[in-house]
Amino acid sequence: MTSEDLYDSLRRLDGKPYPAYKDIKGSYEFDNFTLSIDRVQGDPFASPSRLSIRIDHSHSLIDSGLFSNASRRTGSETFLALAFSSACHREQTSLGSGKSGKLEIDTPGQEILKRTCVEIGETETTVHFSVGLPANGRRILGKAAIGLLTETLPEIVSQALVLSEEDKTAINSFADTNEDADHLRSQLEDHRLVAFIADGATLPRASGIDQHPLSNAVPFQSPASQRICLTVPHAGEISGMGISDGITLIVGGGYHGKSTLLNALERGVYNHIPGDGRECVVALNDATKVRAEDGRSVASVDLSPFINNLPGGKNTQNFTTENASGSTSQAASIIETLETGSHVLLIDEDISATNFLIRDARMQQLIAPEKEPITPFVQRVRALYDQYQVSTILVLGGSGDYFEPAHRVIAMDNYLPHDLTPQAKALCANDPSPTHCSENSTPFEIGTVQRFADPSSINPYKHAAPYRGSRHGGHRQERAPRKNIKAQKTRSLLFGTEEIDLSLLAQLVNSSQTRTIGAALAYACENNRFNDQSIIEALNSIITLLDEQGLSILDGNDLAEIRIQEFMAALNRLRSLRIE
């Protein structure tokens, strides 16, 4: 069908009941693109209709160099998604009741993520987006729909998907930036680094709820002792602070940039768009922030490396609770994170359980060791590295007990780092009183037992309430179970009858990732991945499948790539989860 057929259909539908819009489902050929109307909403107040556009590279002027590898492809797709979003905001107007006239695409934030909203293929680009079809009440506004779909939409395509010379420069910048960041991250292990922060980077953000760079921020400048130069394909040689593996402390006075540096590192597992200020701030892609989460559920986790000898003889090698304390939740998060294969822990003193991080000499004298079930992290942090090659980057402002096990101490002063390792080690030599750092240094075991889930405890379906229908003689009828998955931004995920609290997962950065987690968990259930595989085997198999076949194999719209760390964290916070 052609655009003229769509015009005629919409003119014919003018004034009819809204469900008649379903007649326009199908594909329509325009001058330089194909429009597909994939799903039509049943009501102007319901979720907007789903549409897609396919445009050949000969029309969009996309050069093959923009998708010559995965890094460049994802950078280019991110540019097009942002351009399409900007064009939608410029062109759309309210055209009636409910969501009439609403034009929307899954808009990227500051991070560059692989998404389903824009997919660059070998010969064409496909864009998936939402449109609120116009209505007056629940009557079709055919003329308004004609304007929206046959006039406004082609203009948006022209603005966003057909590259001008200026656009070509900008999209190449996205592709180059993403490729450089991936190249930086790929060099970390060869240099025994866990993270790299480029000189001149802008780390402070506009606010706690705005990830745009802070204007007039102090540019990052690495200390000479930690400076390293790395080379990337497009920006060339880049100097910056390399954080080596081992234990790194970030210290300093309040408001001097300690947590700002850690926040940049936690987001450094993702690449960033040009102009963000953190384009060349990268961390190993398995680096994971762990914190206290009072009240979270824990399902059969071995906490014995950190918690043992509980009153009443409760077993901590197979620990389960519906309401974990701060210290218990943080211990569980570390064990669960290590289960995913993570080799870098990011910890901020401000959001940690104090009794989990430290127990000073006076408290040890007051409370006998056999009366304290918690082995503080300070007594395990060095062994985690020596035994398991797990590095830790720890923000501290109130305790020097970690100076002894630390490999390096970086002090932040007015957002600039200084290497104070010699001074910190001198303090340890002059005052060896914190003997508890070496206490309890015997080897310990982590992750020796795999966890297997009861498949019935991971259920994406919800049984609808019985209803009476006149078509069935007024008898109560049982509705079939329906899938019930809904993302609440990055705050929570409704999964079946349960709500999974994700609000404290700092590295879950976009609501599209939340949707992917829900869709991927449902896929694992429907394909019986938990029947004969351990939890980590099942989840890793899904991540591998997404890497190989793409996010489009999942049932859902507007999805974005996820890491195994957030995937596992979401499942671990499912309160119905039972371990066999």
**DSSP state letters, 224-279:** GGGEEEEEETTTEEEEEEEEESSEEEEE-STTSSHHHHHHHHHHTTSEE-TTSS-T
The 10s digit of each residue's pLDDT in 123-169 is 999 999 999 999 999 899 999 999 999 999 999 999 999 999 999 99
Say what the pLDDT of residue 425 is: 94
Of 104-113, 288-297, 458-467, give the lowest mean pLDDT range.
Answer: 458-467
Tell me, what's the pLDDT at 194? 98
**433 and 470 share one domain:** no
Phi then psi for residue 64, to 5 deg, are -60, -25
Who has greater pLDDT, 437 or 199?
199
Based on the fold, state whether residues 538 and 429 are members of the same structural domain. no
pLDDT reported for residue 97: 84
Give 362 or 459, the one with higher predicted confidence.
459
Tokens of 221: 């400048």
Long-range contacts of residues 366-370, Cβ cutoff 8 Å, at least 24 apart = 370/309
Are 299 and 389 found together in one domain? Answer: yes
Let me know: does 559 contact 515? Beta carbons within 8 Å: yes
- Which of helix, strand or coil describes residue 469? coil
Q: Does residue 149 fall inside a structural domain?
A: yes
In the predicted structure, residue 193 carries a pLDDT above the cut 60 = yes
Q: Are residues 11 and 141 in the same domain?
A: yes
CA angle 531, 462, 577 (to 5 degrees): 45
> Cβ distance 464 to 481 under 8 Å?
yes
Q: Residues 333, 565: contact at Cβ < 8 Å?
A: no
Domain boundary (170, 204, 220) is at 170
Place of tokens 């396919």: 54
Range of the domain at 317: 288-437
CA 509 to chain CA centroid, Å, is 4
Q: Which residues contact 51 (CB under 8 A, 6 or more apart)?
A: 35, 36, 37, 38, 128, 129, 130, 131
3-state helix, strand, coil in the chain (%, to 5): 35, 25, 40
Say yes or no to pLDDT of 438 above 50: no
Query: Residue 232 pairs with which residues in a beta bridge?
Result: 236
Considering the domain boundaries, does residue 305 fall inside one? Answer: yes
299 and 426 together in one domain: yes
Of residues 450, 411, 443, 447, the one with CA closest to residue 427: 411
Alpha-carbon dihedral angle through residues 111, 114, 116, 121, given to the nearest 10 degrees: 130
Q: With respect to residue 24, please indicate whether it lies within any of the assigned structural domains.
A: yes
Q: Are 32 and 133 in contact (CB under 8 A)?
A: no
Higher pLDDT among residues 439 and 172, named by residue: 172
Average pLDDT for 317-322:
94
Counted domains in the chain: 3
In whole angstroms, give the CA distance from residue 116 to residue 560: 7
d(CA 433, CA 333): 30
To the nearest 10 degrees (0 to 180), the angle between helices 511-526 and 564-572 is 70
Claim to verify: residue 427 and residue 467 sit in the same structural domain: no
At 306, is the secondary structure helix, strand, or coil? coil
| Contact criterion met (CB below 8 Å) for 131 and 46 | no
- 458 secondary structure, DSSP code: S
pLDDT, greater one: 220 or 368 = 220
Using DSSP, how many helices (H) and how many strands (E) does the chain show?
15, 31
Q: Where are the alpha helices (DSSP H) in 300-353?
A: 326-339
Q: What is the pLDDT of residues 46-97, one digit of tens each?
A: 999 999 999 999 999 999 999 999 999 999 999 999 999 999 999 888 788 8
More confident call, 430 vs 307: 307
Given a contact cutoff of 8 angstroms between Cβ atoms, the answer to whether 464 and 477 are in contact is: no
Query: Which pLDDT score is estimated for 435?
Result: 47
Quick: pLDDT tens for 443-499: 788 877 789 999 999 999 987 555 555 555 555 666 678 899 999 999 999 999 999
273 falls within a domain: no
Residues 433 and 435: their CA atoms lie apart, in Å, by 5
Residue 137 to residue 152: CA distance in whole angstroms:
22
Length of the chain: 580
Is the confidence at residue 442, as pLDDT, over 80? no
Let me know whether 386 and 516 are in one domain: no
Say yes or no: 463 and 560 in one domain: yes
DSSP per residue, 340-382: TT--EEEEEGGGS-HHHH---HHHHHHS-GGG--B--GGGTHH
Residue 274 forms part of a structural domain? no
Same domain, residue pair 373 and 484: no
On whether residue 87 sits in a domain, the answer given is yes
- State whether 164 and 38 are in the same domain: yes
Is 156 part of a structural domain of the chain? yes
The pLDDT, as a whole number, for residue 373 is: 87
Final residue before a domain boundary, out of 125, 147, 170: 170
Reported as a single tens digit per residue, the pLDDT across 505-533 is: 999 999 999 999 999 999 999 999 999 99
Task: Say if residues 356 and 377 touch (Cβ distance below 8 Å).
Answer: yes
Same domain, 423 and 466: no
Supply 531's token pair: 């029947």
Quote the radius of gyration of the chain (alpha carbons, Å). Answer: 27
User: Where would I find the beta strands (DSSP E) of 362-435?
Assistant: 391-395, 408-413, 416-419
The helix (H) or strand (E) run that includes residue 525 is helix 511-526
Alpha-carbon distance of 424 to 438, in angstroms, equals: 17
DSSP string over 116-180: SSEEE-SSEEEEEEEE---EETTEE-HHHHHHIIIIIHHHHHHHHTS--HHHHHHHHHHHHHHHH
**Measured between alpha carbons, how far is residue 453 from residues 173, 476, 541, 564 in Å?**
45, 35, 15, 17
| Percent of the chain residues past pLDDT 70, beyond the cut | 95
Instruction: Indicate the helix (H) or strand (E) that contains 492.
Output: strand 492-495
Other CB atoms closer than 10 Å to residue 475's CB: what's the count?
8
Question: Which position has the token pair 């695409």?
Answer: 105
pLDDT of amino acid 469:
55
User: What is the reported pLDDT for 449?
Assistant: 79
By CB neighbour count within 10 A (0-12 exposed, 13-18 middle, 19+ buried), where does 447 fall?
Answer: middle
Asked whether residue 376 is assigned to any structural domain, the reply reads yes
Residues 321 and 294 in one domain: yes
Average pLDDT of the residues of the chain: 93
Beta bridge partners of 493: 487, 500
**Of 149, 170, 191, which marks where a domain is finished?**
170
- Could you give the CA distance from residue 491 to residue 510 in angstroms, rounded to a whole number? 10
SS3 211: strand
